[in-house]
């Protein structure tokens, strides 16, 4: 597992960790059952607060991407076999999608430009996952 913290990134550090772990799961670099470092180990290695790492792990656990119990290493959870229901999708990404669409339109993108941008990003992710 590869992680880095970007001081220039306006997002909170825990969000950066969450996103990087998600990307690695999506790419297949991290597979279900793979162990992750302990909260302490990761916080020492990255030189960040223990609670920041713990918060990232809790977010990933709440999103059912990690499993961990007391005294056990955190592990990558089994990937869902069925796509999420539309209610789950709306709850998880609806608000952020709305923000993204608004942002894109304010930047002057047409609906087609935005669709192309999304398709390009999907193709890029597929390429990385190969």
Partner 1 sequence: MKIKFIHPLWTHIPAILALLAGVAFTLMALPLPDPAPLHFTWGGQPDRYGSPWMSTIWQAGISILYIVLSIVLDEAWARQEKRKTFNWVSLFDDVTIAALATVQITYVNMLASSNYVYPFPWVLTIIAGALAAGIAIILEKMRPYRHYESALAIEDVDQLKAEVTKIVKSGQPLVYWEVQNPVYSRVLAVVVPLLMVVVAATAWSEVPWLSVLIALVGIALALVYGGFRAVVTREAITVRMGMLGIRLLKLKTSDIALAELHSFAPLKDFGGYGIRFNREMKAYFLKGDRGVKITTRAGNKYLIGSDHPERLATVISTVIS
- The site for partner 1 (CB under 8 A) is made up of 1-7, 35-38, 40-42, 45-47, 73, 128
Q: How far is CA 105 from the centre of its chain?
A: 25
Beta bridge partners of 76: 66
CB of 74 to partner 1, least distance (A): 11
Specify the residue, 27 or 61, whose C-beta has the smaller distance to partner 1.
27
> Contacts by 14-19 with C-beta closer than 8 Å and gap 24+?
14/52, 14/53, 14/55, 14/56, 14/59, 15/56, 17/52, 17/53, 17/56, 18/56, 18/59, 18/60
Specify the residue, 47 or 108, whose C-beta has the smaller distance to partner 1.
47
CB of 8 to partner 1, least distance (A): 8
Specify the residue, 3 or 109, whose C-beta has the smaller distance to partner 1.
3
Look up residue 69 and give its two tokens: 């119990």
CB of 127 to partner 1, least distance (A): 9
């Amino acid at each position: 597992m590869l992680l880095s913290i970007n001081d220039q990134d306006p997002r909170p550090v825990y969000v950066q960790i969450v996103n990087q772990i998600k990307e690695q799961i999506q790419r297949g670099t991290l597979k279900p059952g793979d162990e992750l470092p302990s909260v302490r180990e990761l916080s020492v290695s990255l030189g960040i607060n223990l609670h920041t790492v713990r918060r990232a792990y809790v977010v990933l656990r709440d999103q059912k991407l990690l499993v961990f119990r007391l005294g056990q290493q955190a592990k990558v959870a089994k990937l869902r076999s069925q796509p999420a229901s539309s209610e789950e999708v709306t709850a998880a990404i609806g608000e952020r999608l709305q923000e993204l669409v608004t942002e894109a339109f304010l930047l002057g993108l047409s609906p087609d430009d935005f669709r192309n941008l999304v398709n390009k990003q999907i193709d890029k992710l597929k390429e990385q996952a190969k």
